[in-house]
Structure 1
Amino acid sequence: MEEARPEIRATKSLAHQIATTLQQEIVQGELSVAERLPSEAEMAKRFGVSQPTVREALKILAAKKLVRSKRGPNGGVFVNAPSLTAASQMLQEMTTWFVGLGVFGLSEIVEARLLLGRTCVQLAAERAAEEDLATIESTLEAFERSDISDEEFCRLDVAFHHAIAQATGNNELRFIMLVVNDSLIPATNMISFRFRERGRVVALHSDILDALRARDGAAAIAAFEELIAYQSSVYEKALAARQGEAPQKQGSL
């Protein structure tokens, strides 16, 4: 493979340096949301580089969803409004990868979900508005359909826990739970769905909702802990079955 020419390496290095500088200015609030960045010519003069190098730096920022381009007379490159969903999606992909590689073990997944989930249900019991409770209830009603696929069941499971996180009224905690729920729940469900009793899961979800409606944080935590304990036991059964199947498959070759 032909080695990259020195001038190309230099251009990429400069572009990354400029992107890092602009990223810091965005994160620190020196460049505010929806603010239009200076033109490529102005930034090229500021940093003492060519316009193509500035353009490369802006592509790096766009890939990170930090800026967006707008065409037309009032167009240009603008600072993007932060999105919990977009940021969560990037972290979710990395977390799912770690789960698949076994970097995160069952005990760590259970511990993380327990610690964060207890906080969520406690705050939700204290702070949930009626519309929050209605959203949680709507996810439970969707479980009642008889034709739900395993993928749909998992999606509703995630939606249930997202709705609880929303009810905490804490955006930082909600962001953390977006990552946890979107990555860990599907990853474990993918392995354990054959051994799971749907009715048991839905019943425990209902217990959590009942406790939230009663503003009973202790009962909500107890129901959540029972849910995690059940899901953990199912996951262990699934892993044991997988380990038992592996030698049989090897012997049949």
Structure 2
Amino acid sequence: MTTRITILCDNGVGSLSGTLGEHGFSALIEPLAGEPLLFDTGQGQTLLHNAQRMHRDLTKVRRVVLSHGHYDHIGGLAPLLRDAGPKEILAHPDVFVARYRLKDNGERIPIGSPLSRGEYEARGGTFVLDASFREIAPGVYLTGAVPRRNDFEAGDAGIFCDTTHCAADLVPDDQSLVLRGRHGLVLLLGCCHAGIINTMEHVADSLGERDFHAVVGGMHLGFCGQPQIEATIRSLKNFGIRKIAVSHCTGFAAAVRLARALPGEVHSAQVGYTLEI
């Protein structure tokens, strides 16, 4: 084992008693040599509790990566700063753009960051905002902004940047982490609003290689139609991934369809799930 990935926040919980679930995502990356890294912070109700239950000391985490600025990924940042000390936070420059979801009943609810950049900074957060693909630690890469190239990953039609639902939120700040493992590249997703295939193609182009061993996290297929799911499955087969650990916004129906199409490769990455790479 060179690096361990542990899911700290997710919609569901695994077999570890005493852990809690919430609509959100967070994963802790612990290299055998080097500093731990926190990827997303969940909604804010379970991160610290689950970390303590799993005996993970978040005061040792110096840097936090945010996949994007939705509340279920950035909401735990304030309690983290409060209880685990100052952090350097790596994010896209658009992470604080206003966001809203239009519910089926016509209600508009805010889904962006619960606090402003200044409020996080007052609590000990230091932001490094960058949209580029870059190496942030040995063998660890941040995708930055992901180009939307294919014609089937349409994104979530129910989110907007204004209260009149006229400006669609394309989530330009969506980004993912890439880790070099013993058996190939491991892609860690927050929500993957940019699309899993768009993201993988961006990583392949940026690194000049297509050897993906595993994909872990939210694939946002729970908010899309069947044609996108089927096109995603066809493209995933072409990549030859050996392990897909789904969680958060992947969606139950999409996860089942993935499991049927890729037997033996699909796993559930709930709270407590650990992958050694």
Instruction: Answer yes or no: same fold by TM over 0.5.
Output: no
- TM-score normalized by the length of structure 2: 0.21
- TM-score normalized by the length of structure 1: 0.22
Higher normalized strand content (fraction of residues): 2
Which has more radius of gyration? Answer: 1
Higher normalized helix content (fraction of residues): 1
